[in-house]
Amino acid sequence: MTEQNDVIVVAEQHEDKIQSVTYELLGKGKEIAEKTSTKLCVVLLGGNIEEEAQELIYYGADKVFVFQHPSLKDFDTLNYKNNIVSLAKELKPGVMLIAASHKGRSLAPRLAVALETGVSADCIGLDMDSDGNLIQVRPAFSGSVLAHMKTKTKPVITTVRYKTMQSIKRDTSRKGEIVNRKASIVPSPLTTIKKQKLGEINISEADIIVTGGRGLKDSKDFAILAELSEACGGVIGSSRPLVDDGWIGKEHQVGFSGNTVKPKIYIACGISGSSQHLAGMRGSDIIIAINTDPSAPIFKIADYRIVGDLYEIVPKLVNEIKGRTS
């Protein structure tokens, strides 16, 4: 059996509020810790985050290491890396789990270099083999195959895509230890000029998503999908080509290089179903596909298949939904 050490989850926060992807990491981290008879530790960095630390205990953490300093409220790659590396060298964890977010993708490789180990990026599955090794599963070749990997060096650093793991139920009776550590702060070469919101949409959290693909003839035709989305109480999604063409913002992109989504209902309008796109939405509870091509790959995973022109079908769906809700 491979020698095991504790599991560390790097918590992600925004403006001192824990992001939901962290709870998914805790769910998987707790599972790994139980299988290896180790503890689940969390490292949390921020400006004023004492209350958030207790929430991590409720969601499965055995021990939370808190680094608190005003300059850590906003993500700073250098200072985040330095403090986490210092803790990791002390604890010598077996596994480190990090969100495959913009922050996590920036942080993970820097941690790996400093700790002389590797990174398995954008994983969608984690499991243990009979020898106690962590098996990391990630899409390869634009999602056409799933690669199963083992890491020879320790710690095993893995970034995990949002909406691919399950968080455990919040339990306020759970007990754990919160350890406050003095943050080491050095002058950062990075300067925040200004902050700008990309939009209010958070497509990864949506229960209903109406997504457009190459079947749309013009960027203005997203208005047709917006009517359906509004009637359903959902949000608008897009395949990558339309984002690349500037028809809609990247925050709407669904797919391996965009957002991984897991809504209750996913309506794909004029989407053929490339492997890259399917990798980001195939976990949806119910998939409804509208396409003129009966052999479109999207139909292979769809629960409901409508062969036809979205310009004819979508308005009819809108009228039907409005008729039932009026």
Q: Are 277 and 239 in contact (CB under 8 A)?
A: yes
DSSP symbols for 151-217: -SSSSEEEEE-TTSS-PPPP-TT---EEEEEPPP----S----------S--GGG-SEEEEE-TT-S
Distance CA 147, CA 166 (A): 21
pLDDT band at 158 (very low <50, low <70, confident <90, very high): very high
Q: Out of 3.40.50.620, 3.30.70.890, 1.10.510.10, 3.20.20.80, select the CATH number for domain 7-181.
A: 3.40.50.620
The residues spanned by each domain of the chain are 7-181, 203-325
Cis peptide before 189 (omega within 30 of 0): no
Specify the CATH number for 203-325; select among 3.40.50.1220, 3.40.640.10, 3.90.120.10, 2.40.10.10. 3.40.50.1220
**Distance between CA atoms of residues 1 and 3, nearest Å:** 6
pLDDT in tens, 214-232: 999 999 999 999 999 999 9
> What region does 16 belong to: left with phi over 0, alpha with psi -120 to 50, or beta?
left
Q: What's the pLDDT score for residue 147?
A: 92
The identity of residue 322, as a single letter, is K
What average pLDDT does range 258-278 have in this prediction?
Answer: 93
- Judged against a pLDDT cut of 60, whether residue 81 lies above it is answered with yes
pLDDT tens digits, residue range 10-55? 999 999 999 999 999 999 999 999 999 999 999 999 999 988 999 9
Q: Which among 156, 117, 159 is positioned nearest to 133, based on CA atoms?
A: 156
* Nearest-angstrom CA–CA distance, 25 and 199: 26
